[in-house]
Amino acid sequence: MISPSGYEPLGNDDAQNFELCKVNSNKKEDEIKKQNGETEKEAKLHLPEVSMIQRESMCSIASEMFIPFFFAGVGMVLAGLELDKVQHWTSFQEVNGLYILVPPLLGLKGNIEMTLASRLSTAANLKILDQWDSLKRIVFGNLALCQCQALVVSFLVSIVAILFNWVPTGEFDLKEGLLLTCSAMLTASLASAVLGTVMVLVVIISLKMKINPDNVVTPIAASLGDLITLWLLAVIAQFFYNFPDGEFFVMPLICGIFVLLIPIWAYIGFKNEYTHEVITNGWEPVIAAMIISSGGGFILDSALSSNPGVAVFAPLINGVGGNLAAVFSSRLSTNLHLNCQRGELPTEFRTGCVHPCFLFCGTNNPQVKAANVMLLLVIPGQLAFLSVIYFIEAGHVAITTPFVILYLLASMLQVIILLHIAWWLVHRVWSAGDDPDSVAIPYLTAFGDLIGVGLLTFVFSVLSSV
């Protein structure tokens, strides 16, 4: 069986011929001596009897990544077209803080639903979902966890948006603040419920059809998530904006109900054996990613005031870069899981820092082919998505040759930066004894939003000054 990292585990006999990681911990050596009854001279560090031989070519990697990449890209294009449309709605024109909500809410959807998809797929592959009792517990526990995370982070996102609006002007509008908070929490809760249910159904159907959920859940989550979340935010915000002043009490009532639901969902997740660890230790990456993405939202809010065309391309450049970096991070993490003990790194990777020549050309880089494939996917993928936008005549900017060149350069630069961040972050997280699968992806998608919107704004600034 080929693992997600693109390598095939060997059997025990073959694995003994490979030294995978050099670990010098005296404590671990002493423990091994005691367990095996070996003398000091005879005691040797027993490494996991697992090894990997690279089996993939660049063509096979590209062929496996193409379909998920394409479907995710279609979802991002549709999300961009939707943002381009709703920016003219009264609520988005009058309540500037709504733009600040967009990147962190879309990123929140990705972080929560993608980690949900990963947990369900892992449980499916471990046969945990084959029994009805365990299926009910893991599904209900994970949906409760997603609701808790969605409500907490969306509440914090709305606070950040309120502060970004209040600090520059020194004026606070209570109705606008309640609108932002209520819209963010209701959007996050509904999106989490809808997407979470879809993820569960897809995993169950995949099991019934003997399909590996890992190959199905990810592109569906990526293609539907942005579109559903953005549509819900736009509709809910417009609904509350048009609310009669006499029924003003409804918004604080809804916010209060959601706040009261947070400890209930948290208690359910805490008592569930499948989500106990995540609900106690999984908050730092999600909240930190929210703060980083809010910076991208602030840039987007400023950029749209002078360049409305940014709306079409922001979800696209953010999503492409973030998804490629997430895939690269997952492959790096899988490679470490299969080859090294938690907290220890191969000798040549202990610094965690690499230069572009090593990342894309280094013979010691086990993911050099994947890094090159992801870089090579950027230009044809972005050209295909730009062609769709061009032929349907969307947006407020002419897709000219200078724009295409600058946009492709910005997208390439974003992916190169994110791949380097992914390499450093995954190895740092692993050396600290944490699981990169749970920690790295939220940071990478958040940095993808921040870097993508920043570079896109720079492109529009250059074009407008020419």
Give a three-class secondary structure readout of 108-169.
Answer: HHHHHHHHHHHHHHHHHHCCHHHCHHHHHHHHHHHHHHHHHHHHHHHHHHHHHHHHHHHHHH
pLDDT band at 293 (very low <50, low <70, confident <90, very high): confident
Q: What is the pLDDT of residues 153-188, one digit of tens each?
A: 899 988 888 887 777 667 777 888 899 999 999 999
Mean pLDDT of 381-410: 86
CA distance 154 to 454: 23
Indicate if the pLDDT at residue 198 is higher than 80: yes
Q: What own/partner pairs with CB < 8 Å and gap ≥ 24 does 386-394 have? A: 388/77, 389/77, 389/80, 389/81, 389/312, 389/313, 392/81, 394/80, 394/81, 394/84, 394/312
Q: Who's near 375: CB < 8 A, 6+ residues apart?
A: 360, 412, 415, 416, 419
CA distance 266 to 204: 25
pLDDT band at 458 (very low <50, low <70, confident <90, very high): very high
Query: What does the pLDDT read at residue 52?
Result: 37
SS3 53: strand
HSE on the CB side for 453, CA within 13 Å?
Answer: 28
Top mean pLDDT of 51-65, 114-128, 388-402 is at 388-402
Q: Residue 382: how many CB atoms within 10 A of its CB?
A: 22
Higher pLDDT, 302 or 265: 265
Query: What does the pLDDT read at residue 213?
Result: 63
- Least trusted range by pLDDT, from 104-108, 137-141, 407-411: 104-108
Determine the Cα angle at 140 with ends 135 and 145, to 5°. 130
- Least trusted range by pLDDT, from 234-248, 262-276, 302-316, 345-359: 345-359
Please report the DSSP string for 298-337 in residue order. Answer: HHHHHHHHH-TTHHHHHHHHHHHHHHHHHHHHHHHHHHHH
Mean pLDDT of 21-33: 44
Q: Who's near 99: CB < 8 A, 6+ residues apart?
A: 87, 92, 297, 300, 301, 304
Higher pLDDT, 417 or 302: 417
Higher pLDDT, 462 or 21: 462
Indicate if the pLDDT at residue 86 is higher than 80: yes
CA distance 213 to 218: 8
pTM for this one?
Answer: 0.73
Q: What is the pLDDT of residues 347-370, one digit of tens each?
A: 555 555 566 677 777 667 777 787
Q: Which fold has domain 88-307?
A: Tetracycline Repressor; domain 2 (1.10.357)
Query: Domain locations in the chain?
Result: 88-307
HSE on the CB side for 338, CA within 13 Å?
Answer: 24
Nearest to 337 by CA among 452, 453, 435: 435
The torsion of the CA quartet 299, 194, 73, 109, rounded to 10 degrees, works out to: 30
Query: What does the pLDDT read at residue 184?
Result: 92
- Least trusted range by pLDDT, from 66-70, 149-153, 195-199: 66-70
Q: Who's near 60: CB < 8 A, 6+ residues apart?
A: none
pLDDT band at 69 (very low <50, low <70, confident <90, very high): confident
Q: Residue 57: how many CB atoms within 10 A of its CB?
A: 12
Query: What does the pLDDT read at residue 236?
Result: 93
Q: What is the pLDDT of residues 3-22, one digit of tens each?
A: 333 333 334 443 443 344 44
Indicate if the pLDDT at residue 423 is higher than 50: yes
DSSP state of 284: H
Higher pLDDT, 37 or 441: 441
Query: What does the pLDDT read at residue 186?
Result: 94
- Least trusted range by pLDDT, from 114-128, 240-254, 291-305: 114-128
Query: What does the pLDDT read at residue 303?
Result: 81
Query: What does the pLDDT read at residue 408?
Result: 95
Q: What is the pLDDT of residues 430-447, one digit of tens each?
A: 888 877 777 887 888 889
